[in-house]
Amino acid sequence: ATILCRELLNSSPESRPLQAAPPPSSMGSALRKSTAAEATPNARSDDATTTKRSNPIVYGDESIMRQKGHGTCASGVQGGLRFGCDAKTADRICCYNRHFAEYSGSFLKTRWLAQVKDAGEVTYYDSVSGQPLFRAPRGRSFATFLRESKSHGWPSFRDDEVLWDHVRILPNGEAVSLAGTHLGHNLPDGKGNRYCINLVSIAGRPLDGGDDTDVDGAAGARTSS
User: What's residue 54's pLDDT?
Assistant: 53
- Does the pTM surpass 0.85? The reply is no
More confident residue, 34 or 5: 5
- How far is it, in rounded angstroms, from Cα 189 to Cα 14? 32
Model confidence pLDDT, tens digit, residues 35-48: 333 333 334 344 44
Answer for the pair 164, 51: CB distance below 8 angstroms, yes or no.
Answer: no
Mean pLDDT throughout 111-122? 97
Work out the mean pLDDT of the chain and round it to a whole number. Answer: 79
- How far is it, in rounded angstroms, from Cα 90 to Cα 101? 10
**Helix residue ranges, H only, 103-210:** 112-116, 142-152
The residues, any chain, with a CB within 8 Å of residue 91's CB and separated by 6 or more, are 18, 76, 77, 223
Model confidence pLDDT, tens digit, residues 24-78: 332 222 223 333 333 333 343 444 455 444 579 999 999 999 999 999 999 999 9
